[in-house]
Each structure stands twice: as C-alpha cells, then as structure tokens.
Amino acid sequence: MHHDSSLSDPTADLLTSLGIDPNQQYIPVRTLLRQLGYAPAGHEKDLRRIPVLAAGLKAMWLTDSNGARTPALCLRVDLVPLWLCTLPSARRPALAQWQHEAASILWQQSRPNGVSPADALVPAVHAQTNLEVAYTQINEAAALARQQLLAERELDRQVRDATDPGTVHLREAGTDALVRATRQTAMVSATLSKRNDYLGIFLGLVRVFQITSLRAIPPARLQGALEWLEHWRSDIAADDPPAD
C-alpha cells in the first residue's frame, strides 16, 4: 500500500488510491486506517462489533523491508469496501464520495422495483454519454436478473411445499407470467442450442420494452414482451433469436 494525494480528490477511485491489490487475501487494518488519517485503536475495536467484518479478521505476521516481523490485525480484502462504508467521512472527500456511490449502488441492486434514475454514478438520462448509457442498461439488466433469480427461487420453494402444483404462482399475475416465460425460453435455449440466453433476454426486455422491473408492468409492455419471448423460443431451433 502507499499514500496517494488523490485521497483528498472525490473523483478518484478510492481503492486504487489506497493501493489495495485485489489479488491480496488480507489487508492490514492499521495501515489502511493511517492512510485515511484515523487513529487505529478505536476503529480496530469497532470492526469486531460487526459480525460479518469480525468474521473476516485474521491476526497475521507481516515482514517489512528489513526482514523484521510484526503482528498485525488484517481484514479479508473482499470486506474492505463494506468496512469503508462504516467509517466517519467528515473532512475526507474521497471517502465521503465512495460512501455516497456505494449506497447508491447497493440501493440500485436491492430496490424491489428495479433501478431508478437516482444512480449517483451517472447524470440525468438526457446528459448521459454512450458509456453511461451502457452502464445504466447493464445495471437495469442486472436488476431484472436479480428479480428473476428471487422469483424462480420462490416458485421452486412453492413447488417443493405444494400438494397441488396448480396453486403455485407469484403474487402478481404479470410478474408470474413474465418470470415463467423467461425461464421457459432460457431452458429451451439451454436444451436445444446449448446456450445461456438469460443475459440476452434481460437486455432485450430493457432495450426493446423499457422493462426495468418484473413488478407492475404496464399491460401493453407485458403482452409485447410475452410475444417477443414466444417468438424467441420458436426461433431457437434455427439459432435465430428475435432482433431488437
């Protein structure tokens, strides 16, 4: 790790500025805290109060450039982003911006009705560059994929628990129909063409029908999407999925 003047720059990539190598398994907590300008002792104790972070702590021996070995409390590298979100960020612009964007990303991926235009990483739709449009569409597809994943799990759970398969359905009829059609299309594709078409389906739903959520879909869009998926299934044997 190294100190970087970009730690005061809110536009900088915080993890890069901190010199975090994703190929490392553990990061020395005290070194990271000092880079951010914190007194280590109190924050090391705070780490132990959050179970998911505490589970990723490990006491290790570090060797410096002179060959001396010293004990250090280290945190598993994949937990560093979450930990950074728990630190006070007053007078630390780069950390404050990181937390703002991390909160936005978490909400975009978790909100029940798909993504929203409030993503902190991009401007309003009319001001987006081509890259930002691509980023937005990919996140919209990811939100649909997450909803599909949760919906299929719910259907599978109901099938396991139901005495009558005819009673298995999701709460909203439109959601149920689209989830089932998406799953059927993907399964037919996997069987006949040995291809995973889930991503293509989600990107198509976003681009063609502006569907960014599987809930409360306008009837016209729902019917169009169901017909589009049916056409996709009928063309799979010819390896010719429907055009955008």
Residue-wise pLDDT for 73-108, tens only, equals 999 999 999 999 999 988 888 899 889 888 888 877
- Beginning with the edge strand found earlier in the chain, give each strand of the sheet holding 57-63 in spatial order: 26-28, 69-76, 57-63
Res 58 pLDDT > 90: yes
Residue-wise pLDDT for 126-172, tens only, equals 888 999 888 888 888 888 888 899 889 888 888 888 777 777 788 88
Closest CA to 51 of 96, 82, 12, 27: 82
Domain boundaries, the chain: 5-110, 125-236
Token pair listed for 70: 């010293």
Max Cα–Cα distance, the chain, nearest Å: 71
| pTM, two decimal places | 0.64
Output 239 or 173, whichever has higher pLDDT.
173
